[in-house]
Every structure is written in structure tokens, then in C-alpha cells.
């Protein structure tokens, strides 16, 4: 069995255990990237047991995840097999605690592998500290854009298709960093570009739902109307999509720069039919940008852009944490 006290990058841990064939008796898998949690849960289980072997593989979920039933099954010797595998999902033991389960960790049979996959985990609770010392804690966090780009390209190459680098980053820009969403949108793009065998930026623009920029656009509209409730609600939605604070700041700054350019174009007499080409925005968004501009003077927009840039400086120089800085910026922009 693999030694305990492991708590690091989930992908690295599980891959190492599968490759070596040395497994822990106890696993806790969790993290913000649900796609990876699900994928590596499946990989681990398949490496340990035949999932069709109902005699040696048991699953407990949510309300069925009772400590006494889990302990009873996990204490039983495997039936004509090397190990018994018990998968427990969303038990909330690592949020609310459970003394019986915690005690069982010290007496778990060598022939049993107990895997917990949880959404709610409190690192301060005793049971978490116990499994950290006796087993393997595998954390799956949101991936950075560079890692996501490599992964997205692999989704296409494994099916003998290509996607241009610009299209990869446009896809991330459009739908965000959630891997489930990116995988679903990639499947749509594969079907759309099946005959030509390559996906370009224009395909992404045509096909993919622009969740992040759409919400940013709506939030900018609410900001221009000083609609505090809608602005905060949309910002909360963006946070729920797990968009990094610095990316949100970049998109907000970009939108205020577009508004500033639109305002300048209007005040210098540029015809509305030419604003799209001058400001470099899609023609169908021009009326909305003009409407937003009506909520500000030119000097106010200059001030808003400066506020965004000052927030960027505060974050990069360590004066403020990124999430707090962006939240405070939103409040200031509503003034």
C-alpha cells in the first residue's frame, strides 16, 4: 500500500498510484474542478476493481452514506479478489465530522480501499486531519489557461482533428475555465467542423455560448444604470463560474475602454453606422454601447478606466488581494 500523508496535486497523486500499483487504503478526492474530480475518481476505481463486481465494489451516495453501513461493508474481507473497494460520495463527513468513521480509519483492513469524493470539505475538522495523516488527500483545483489550452488541443488531436491556437484561447475567453463546459463546447465544435477537420476562431464565435462576456456585458449595462442589485447579482454569477479575479478585472477594464472609445466617437461626430469599425466591436452591439455611454460623461469614463488600472496595480504590487480588490472596484464603479 502507498504511504499516507499525501496531500498535493490530485492528478499527479492518482496517476503515480495507478502507474506504480501501490494504493492507499484511504482516499479523499475534492476540489473546485469537478470535471477532474469525476475523471480521476473513475480512473482510480477502474484501476482498483472491476466496477461490475458487485461482491467487491460498493457505492454509497448522499443520504445513503451512513457511517455504520459503510463501516460494515468496508470491514468485510473481499470475495475471491485481492481487495474490496468502497466509494462514498457527498457524505458530508468532512464538513460535519463523524467520530465512528474517524475511528474506523485506524482499523481499516489492509484488503479494503475506501474512497471519499466530497463537495463540502472543511480542512479544520478532525476527520479531515485524520485522513490526511493516514491516507491520501487528492485536491483538484481549477487549471490555468496554459494548462487548459494543452488539454483542449488534446481533445481534438485524439480524434484526428485540429484547433488553431487562437481558437483555443478564444474558446476559453468565451465560455470560461470550467472544464465540463469546455469539454461540452469542444464536442459541439468537433461536430461542426468535422468535414474540414480544423476549428478556427470564427467557428468559436459562431457556435459557442459566450457565458462570461455575456454576463460582463449585462453587468456593464447594469453599472451604467447604477442598478446595484443586478450588478451584484451578475458579479456573483461570474464568481460562481469560477472565473479568476484578474480575468474579470481585465474584461471589465476592456469594456470601459470600449465605452470610452464609443463616447469619443460620438462626441467627435462619427456616424453610428461607422462606430463598429472605428471601435472594433460587432455591429449588433453598437446600439447597446451607445445606450450605456448615455449613463456617463466622457470624464466619468476616463475616471472609471483609471480606477480599473489602479486596481490592477494594487493587486500586482501586493497591496490588496485580487478578489477583495475587484469586489471593492465594483462597489466604487456603482457610485
Is 75 part of a structural domain of the chain?
yes
Is 216 part of a structural domain of the chain?
no
Please write the tens of the pLDDT for every residue from 116-153: 999 989 988 999 999 999 999 999 988 888 899 999 99
* 10-residue averages of pLDDT along the chain (335 residues): 59 93 96 92 96 95 91 95 95 93 95 96 93 94 87 94 92 82 93 93 81 81 90 86 84 91 90 81 81 91 94 91 92 89
Determine contact, residues 160/195, Cβ cutoff 8 Å.
no
Burial class (CB in 10 A: 0-12, 13-18, 19+), 107: exposed
Q: Cα(260)–Cα(257) distance, rounded to whole angstroms?
A: 5
For the chain, the domain total comes to: 3
- Claim to verify: residue 262 and residue 150 sit in the same structural domain: no
Query: What pLDDT, on the 0 to 100 scale, is given for residue 1?
Result: 58
- Claim to verify: residue 77 and residue 149 sit in the same structural domain: no
Is 95 part of a structural domain of the chain?
yes
Query: What pLDDT, on the 0 to 100 scale, is given for residue 127?
Result: 95
Is 214 part of a structural domain of the chain?
no
Structural domain boundaries, residue 36: 6-139
CATH number of residue 171's parent domain: 1.10.8.60
Is 62 part of a structural domain of the chain?
yes
- Claim to verify: residue 29 and residue 84 sit in the same structural domain: yes
Is 215 part of a structural domain of the chain?
no
Extract the C-alpha cell encoding 252: 471589465
- Claim to verify: residue 234 and residue 326 sit in the same structural domain: yes
CATH number of residue 108's parent domain: 3.40.50.300
For cell 489602479, the residue is: 310
Of 139, 161, 184, which one is at a domain's C-terminal end?
Answer: 139
- Claim to verify: residue 176 and residue 59 sit in the same structural domain: no
- Claim to verify: residue 183 and residue 234 sit in the same structural domain: no
- Claim to verify: residue 192 and residue 251 sit in the same structural domain: no
DSSP H helix total and E strand total for the chain:
17, 8
- Claim to verify: residue 12 and residue 117 sit in the same structural domain: yes
- Claim to verify: residue 35 and residue 84 sit in the same structural domain: yes
Query: What pLDDT, on the 0 to 100 scale, is given for residue 7?
Result: 53
Query: What pLDDT, on the 0 to 100 scale, is given for residue 21?
Result: 93
- Claim to verify: residue 97 and residue 31 sit in the same structural domain: yes
Is 302 part of a structural domain of the chain?
yes
Of 80, 113, 139, which one is at a domain's C-terminal end?
Answer: 139
Please write the tens of the pLDDT for every residue from 65-93: 999 999 999 999 999 999 999 999 999 99
The 3 state secondary structure assigned to the chain is: CCCCCEEEEHHHHHHHHHHHCCCCCEEEEECCCHHHHHHHHHHHHHHHCCCCCCCCEEEEEHHHCCHHHHHHHHCCCCCCCCCEEEEEECCCHHHHCCHHHHHHCCCCCCCEEEEEECCCCCCCCHHHHHHHHHCEEEECCCCCHHHHHHHHHHHHHCCCCEECHHHHHHHHHHHCCCHHHHHHHHHHHHHHCCCCCEECHHHHHHHCCCHHHHHHHHHHHHHHCCCHHHHHHHHHHHHHCCCCHHHHHHHHHHHHHHHHHHHHHHHCCCCHHHHHHHHCCCHHHHHHHHHHHCCCCHHHHHHHHHHHHHHHHHHHCCCCCHHHHHHHHHHHHCC
Is 225 part of a structural domain of the chain?
yes
CATH number of residue 234's parent domain: 1.20.272.10
Of 207, 234, 257, which one is at a domain's C-terminal end?
Answer: 207
- Claim to verify: residue 255 and residue 317 sit in the same structural domain: yes
Nearest of 137, 192, 202 to residue 164 by alpha carbon: 202
Determine contact, residues 216/238, Cβ cutoff 8 Å.
yes
- Claim to verify: residue 183 and residue 252 sit in the same structural domain: no
Amino acid at each position: 500500500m502507498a504511504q499516507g500523508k499525501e496531500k498535493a496535486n490530485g492528478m499527479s497523486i492518482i496517476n503515480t498510484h495507478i502507474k506504480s500499483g501501490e494504493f492507499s487504503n484511504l482516499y479523499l478526492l475534492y476540489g473546485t474542478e469537478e470535471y477532474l474530480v469525476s475523471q480521476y475518481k473513475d480512473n482510480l476505481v477502474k484501476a482498483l476493481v472491476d466496477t461490475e463486481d458487485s461482491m467487491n465494489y460498493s457505492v454509497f451516495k448522499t443520504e445513503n452514506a451512513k457511517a455504520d453501513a459503510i463501516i460494515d461493508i468496508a470491514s468485510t474481507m473481499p470475495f475471491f479478489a485481492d481487495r474490496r473497494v468502497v466509494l462514498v460520495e457527498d457524505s458530508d463527513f468532512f464538513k460535519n465530522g463523524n467520530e465512528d468513521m474517524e475511528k474506523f480509519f485506524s482499523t481499516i483492513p489492509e484488503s479494503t480501499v475506501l474512497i471519499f469524493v466530497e463537495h463540502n470539505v472543511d480542512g479544520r475538522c478532525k476527520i479531515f486531519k485524520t485522513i490526511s495523516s493516514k491516507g491520501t488527500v487528492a485536491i483538484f483545483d481549477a487549471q490555468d489557461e496554459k494548462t487548459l489550452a494543452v488539454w483542449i488541443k488534446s481533445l481534438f488531436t485524439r480524434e484526428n482533428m485540429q484547433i488553431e491556437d487562437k481558437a483555443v484561447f478564444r474558446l476559453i475567453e468565451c465560455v470560461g475555465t470550467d472544464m465540463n463546459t469546455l469539454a461540452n463546447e469542444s464536442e459541439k465544435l468537433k461536430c461542426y467542423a468535422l468535414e474540414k477537420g480544423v476549428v478556427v476562431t470564427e467557428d468559436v464565435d459562431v457556435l459557442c455560448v459566450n457565458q462570461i462576456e455575456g454576463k460582463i456585458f449585462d453587468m456593464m449595462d447594469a453599472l451604467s444604470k447604477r442598478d446595484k442589485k443586478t450588478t451584484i447579482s451578475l458579479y456573483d454569477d461570474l464568481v460562481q463560474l469560477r472565473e479568476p479575479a484578474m480575468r474579470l478585472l481585465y474584461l471589465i477594464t476592456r469594456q470601459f475602454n470600449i465605452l470610452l472609445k464609443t463616447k469619443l466617437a460620438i462626441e467627435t461626430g462619427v456616424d453610428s453606422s461607422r462606430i463598429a469599425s472605428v471601435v472594433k466591436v460587432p455591429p449588433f452591439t453598437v446600439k447597446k454601447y451607445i445606450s450605456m455611454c448615455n449613463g456617463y460623461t466622457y470624464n466619468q469614463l476616463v475616471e472609471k478606466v483609471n480606477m480599473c488600472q489602479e486596481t490592477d496595480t494594487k493587486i500586482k504590487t501586493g497591496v490588496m488581494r485580487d478578489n477583495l480588490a475587484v469586489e471593492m472596484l465594483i462597489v466604487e464603479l456603482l457610485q
